[in-house]
Amino acid sequence: MLSLGQELKKAREERGIMLSDIAGATHISLRFLQAIENDSYDVLPGGVFNRAFVRKFARTVGFDEEQAVKLYEEQLVEMGGEPQRRYYTGVEEIEPSSSSGNGLVLSFLALVILAGGAYFAYLFFNTPSQSAENTVVANPTPAPQIISTPLPAATPMPSPTPEPKAELNMEVIAGNDQCWIQIITDDRAPDQGLLEVGDVREYKASEKIIIVSMGNTPALKITVNGRQLDPAKLVRSPRSVITQNVILTRENYQSYVQ
């Protein structure tokens, strides 16, 4: 009759399953799975863990779980009961040490010593010395007071007011006779027409005023920025009464003033 380990190994090999596959599916240590197949139960953690490992192993390889547990218990009876464990639960082996009791005692003593040292160190560094408490400082010199004088607020500099751009203001008045005029201010369309006696025309420009044509100039009163122009300076010759293509600017209009 085959043992439990032999039955499980046979079922595993028939299904082509590796022990590592079972370990990944059941999260049981590969060492424990090998121990079950070898019927080495002293490697297992014992008790209910052994039966749980046997059930998971059997379920994974398609072997009847109850039959597997029954075979395991029968083998325990034949072995005279559950063997004494040599390993704790886990993947790595841990051999029981005969000096574990002494190790625990020594560890406890070391902790007590460390705790005592830490306590005394705390008292030493945090307790103020008596001499420092009883020291009286005679005539303590007060710390000099630093009086900060606020600086006067900076007076904002007024932004310079842009000077108004000078303009050319020309006024043409027809005196004792009619006069034909054609005048252009800056780049605007020309103003032209016949002035009757007493008619007034006003022109404003920022750059220039062009007298394209002006007939019977002596019959007109012409002022620029309040100053009267001399008709004789506008015509081409002393005998002429016609003004043509005279350009008046802010810089040169005074040369035509009477």
pLDDT at 60: 95
Among 51, 78, 105, give the residue marking a domain's end.
78
Residue 28 in domain: yes
Classify burial at 9, counting beta carbons within 10 Å of its beta carbon; exposed 0-12, middle 13-18, buried 19 or more: buried
What pLDDT, on a 0 to 100 scale, did the predictor assign at position 46? 83
In a domain, 156, yes or no: no
d(Cα 30, Cα 12) in Å, to the nearest integer? 14
pTM above 0.95, yes or no: no
213: three-class secondary structure by DSSP? strand
Tell me, yes or no, whether 119 lies in a domain: no
Measured between alpha carbons, how far is 181 from 212 in angstroms, rounded to an integer? 8
pLDDT score at 113: 77
Residue 163: CA count within 13 A, CB half-sphere: 3
Residue 144 lies in a domain: no
- Residue 97 placed within a domain: no
Domain of 49, CATH number, reads 1.10.260.40
Note whether residue 91 is domain-resident: no
Q: Is residue 51 part of a domain?
A: yes
Residue 198: per-residue pLDDT = 82
Which residues partner with 213 through β-bridges? Answer: 182, 244
Q: Which helix (H) or strand (E) holds 171?
A: strand 168-174
Q: How many domains does the chain have?
A: 2
**Has residue 207 been placed in a domain?**
yes
Where among 63, 78, 93 does a domain terminate? 78
Taking the C-alpha atoms of residue 106 and residue 110, their distance in angstroms, rounded to an integer, is: 6
78, 95, 113: which is the final residue of a domain?
78
Contact 37, 9 (CB under 8 A): yes
For residue 115, what pLDDT is reported?
Answer: 72
Domain that residue 72 falls in:
4-78
Give residue 11's Cα distance to chain centre. 62
Tell me the pLDDT of the chain (258 aa) as tens digits. 789 999 999 999 999 999 999 999 999 999 999 999 999 999 888 888 999 999 999 999 999 999 999 999 999 898 887 776 554 444 333 333 334 445 565 667 767 777 776 666 666 556 554 444 444 444 555 555 655 556 556 566 666 555 445 689 999 998 888 888 999 999 899 999 888 888 999 999 999 999 999 888 888 899 999 999 998 999 888 888 899 999 999 899 999 998
